[in-house]
Structure 1
Amino acid sequence: MERGLGGEVHAFSILIAARNEEANLPHLLQDLTRQEPVPGGFEVLIIDDHSTDATAALVLEAAAQAPFRLRLLRLAELPEAPTGKKAAVEAGVRAARAPWVLLTDADCRVPAGWVRAYAAVATDAAARFISGPVLLTGRGALAALQGLELAGLVGVGAASIYRGRPTMCNGANLAYRRADFFAVQGFRGNEAVPSGDDEFLLHKLHAAFPGSIRFVQRAGAVVRTAAQPTLRQLLGQRVRWASKWRHYQAAAPRRLAVLVLLSNLTFPVGAGLWLAGAAPGGAVVAAWTLKLTADVLFLGPVLRFLGRLRWLGWVPVLQLAYGPYALAVGLLGLRGGYEWKGRRVGEKPR
């Protein structure tokens, strides 16, 4: 642990990149005031990514009353005024004073045991990167389908970490040693890719320090964030996520992305072959039933852990929709351009 200004000693520096988050930040800051105590405590750094609302003013006001050290960093005040989440995270890591940085997003909610759950895993001397679970919240069919999809990604990410071959994580809930960020040169090599501040670093740290990646499987570590309210916003978010796939250096996550896409084309491809007379209907139904059964068996424990076992009923619906949805998102992600927080990102010149 490192000693900060005023004599404080912190175990964690919590980094939150924020752009136009005046509506969400008060809820997250309130969650942080309710954290269960951990040895060394924590500080919080909000990195303002050129917000045009009252985000910065809100943080400065909260800093005067917060029971923890709360600091505001403005990207607009840094040399060359960088933009984007990677720039915000890097600025936060450089300004952090604790040996571990713990990251979430400004529109997330964290439970009272969040920091404590990470502190328990961080006692493992071999751990250098810790990934945590994320739960989507909301009402209605669209929210349930999004939540089910993300639960599957959480499960795959956790399973790959337990197998010693980490492939994915979620930037809304992770931690790593500050020194290791610099040891692997941070985001160098993929700084031009707007997305991927989480998984690119995961892959680099795994390559540099095999066996050092952990998953925190504790109820107190589950971060919640709202599902996208409309299909248009959902596609925009997923295209942003998919834009990083073609830049993966490691083969494992690329193979996994292709495998997931192909497996979810089982029903539409099988139905097409049946309609064309190239495959018997019984074989198509059997293949789809096998895929459905495998998904239910895999998702059951994940949904039980997340407290959303009722979502299992949506698995057949997601199976029917996921093939064309994943294909569309993947193809759109290859273009590399999307809109985020009112900013056009990564658009290729025409």
Structure 2
Amino acid sequence: MIFIFICIGITLIYVVLIANFSLGFDRIKTFELSQHKPITRFSIIIPFRNEEKMLPTLLESILNLTYPKDYFEIIFVDDDSDDTSVQMLNSTLINNGTSPIDFKIVKNIKSSNSPKKDAISLAISQAKYDWIVTTDADGILPKYWLDSFDAFIQKQEPDFIAAPITYANSQGFLQNFQLSDVLSLQGATIGGFGIKRPFLCNGANLAYKKELFKTLNGFQGNSEIASGDDVFLLEKATEQSSNKVHYLKCQGAVVSTFALTSWSDLIEQRVRWAAKSSAYKNWFGKLVGLIVLSQNALLVSCVLLAAIGIMKPLHLLIIFLIKFCIDFLLIYKAANFFNQKHHLKYYFLSSFLYPFFSVLVTFLAVFKGFKWKDRSYKK
């Protein structure tokens, strides 16, 4: 009986949380891009390490940007690549056949346990313009990307902007499982901003004032944590001035990347994401993580208890259906925004697997290190 009350309590709290994210998602109105005169100049920062396979797609999207070429620069930061990435950047951007792009490639200088944070800090120290935009070397930039940021900056006058990301061309169950996960994360991200509790963002699509970065002392305080260049900066920016921290919910600003192609790579990536959560200072972010983990662990426990006859299968089914429905509400809203509703056919099967996947990732994040860009990190 006590266990049943625990099940009811955890599930009720989870439903309230996800329902609030769903309401918050709708409160962030979609930003419609209209004709305007660009005024903002951007310094785009792209750290990379051995990305020769992904760079052609990124470079093609850079060449297709509609924003005036003399209004932005790109700083590529080479983190010890030993492939042809540097040569590819030079040959493609110098001989692009269109108007010249202001870019440079700098060698990363490691001064912490986080090469990516070192790369961003180094690039910001050399940036010419007041607005910093970060993205990843495996991303695809939409052609109105900078136009969207500029229009939003002119209208809202923010200091920090989080923007949307998703997976492109997801094929098969593994990649669509990842897409469902990312859609849920994006739904929670937007929902968090909507209820004025921002706790997530993604460094693949992030913009902030250079002066804000300096005022916040950059990544000081979390530079020894390998990842988290995005969320930790969001926490500091929100604490500094929450009314200047915004989410750009604009389809013209969606940066895409590609889902991973193996379960081992996926688990490694998610372990890396989870490993940084213990260092979060945002109490709401920690609470969300605890609630989500508790609900997933509860379902795994219920499956085991039902298998050995201690729990009635009907009770397990009810808990699963409640979670299934409330999760679907948020994921559907995100899929609708990203024009990816046709991928929801994989949601039913993904929802069975996800609790086990989540618990496994959490366990590995607590007791095991992870690899990132061929480097090993310990907790």
Name which of 69, 85, 106 aligns with 2:102.
69
- State the identity as a percent: 28
User: Residue in 1 aligned with 2:222?
Assistant: 190
RMSD, aligned α-carbons = 2.2
Q: Does 1:259 align with 2:291?
A: yes
**Paired letter, 1:317:** L
Assess if the C-alpha contact under 8 Å between 2:48 and 2:137 holds in 1: yes
User: Bigger relative contact order, structure 1 or 2, given CA contacts below 8 A and separation 6+?
Assistant: 2
Q: Distance in 2 between matches of 1:218 and 1:109?
A: 15
Where does 1:87-106 land on structure 2 (aligned, <5 Å)?
87-106=118-137
Name which of 112, 129, 139 aligns with 2:160.
129
Q: 1:160 to 1:10 in 2, by over 3 A?
A: closer
Give the superposition deviation at 1:276: 5.0
Q: Distance in 2 between matches of 1:20 and 1:69?
A: 22
Q: 1:83 to 1:259 in 2, by over 3 A?
A: closer
**Paired letter, 1:187:** F
User: Residue in 2 aligned with 1:150?
Assistant: 182
TM-score w.r.t. length of structure 2: 0.83
Give the superposition deviation at 1:313: 2.5
Give the superposition deviation at 1:342: 1.7
Give the superposition deviation at 1:79: 8.1
Structure 2 SS opposite 1:240:
helix
Where does 1:9-158 land on structure 2 (aligned, <5 Å)?
11-37=41-67, 41-65=71-95, 67-75=100-108, 78=109, 84-124=115-155, 126-137=157-168, 138-158=170-190
Q: Which moved more, 1:199-208 or 1:116-125?
A: 116-125
Please, which runs of 5 or more residues in structure 2 have no aligned partner?
A: 1-38
User: Deviations 1:54-78 (Å, cap 9, x if unpaired)?
Assistant: 2222223344335320111111xx4
Structure 1 SS opposite 2:161:
strand
Assess if the C-alpha contact under 8 Å between 1:136 and 1:226 holds in 2: yes
**Paired letter, 1:57:** Q
Q: Does 1:322 align with 2:347?
A: no
User: Deviations 1:60-118 (Å, cap 9, x if unpaired)?
Assistant: 3344335320111111xx48699611111111111111111111100111111111111
Give the superposition deviation at 1:198: 0.5
**Paired letter, 1:64:** I
Q: Distance in 2 between matches of 1:172 and 1:341?
A: 16
Assess if the C-alpha contact under 8 Å between 1:128 and 1:213 holds in 2: yes
Q: Which moved more, 1:169-178 or 1:56-65?
A: 56-65
Assess if the C-alpha contact under 8 Å between 1:130 and 1:174 holds in 2: yes
How many residues were matched structurally?
A: 337
Q: 1:267 to 1:336 in 2, by over 3 A?
A: closer
Give the superposition deviation at 1:268: 2.5
Structure 1 SS opposite 2:56:
helix
Structure 1 SS opposite 2:243:
coil
Q: Distance in 2 between matches of 1:287 and 1:234?
A: 27
Name which of 306, 327, 340 aligns with 2:338.
306
Give the superposition deviation at 1:243: 1.3
Q: Distance in 2 between matches of 1:71 and 1:274?
A: 60
Q: Distance in 1 between matches of 2:264 and 2:302?
A: 28
Give the superposition deviation at 1:328: 1.4
Q: 1:123 to 1:64 in 2, by over 3 A?
A: same
Give the superposition deviation at 1:343: 1.8
Q: Distance in 2 between matches of 1:82 and 1:58?
A: 28
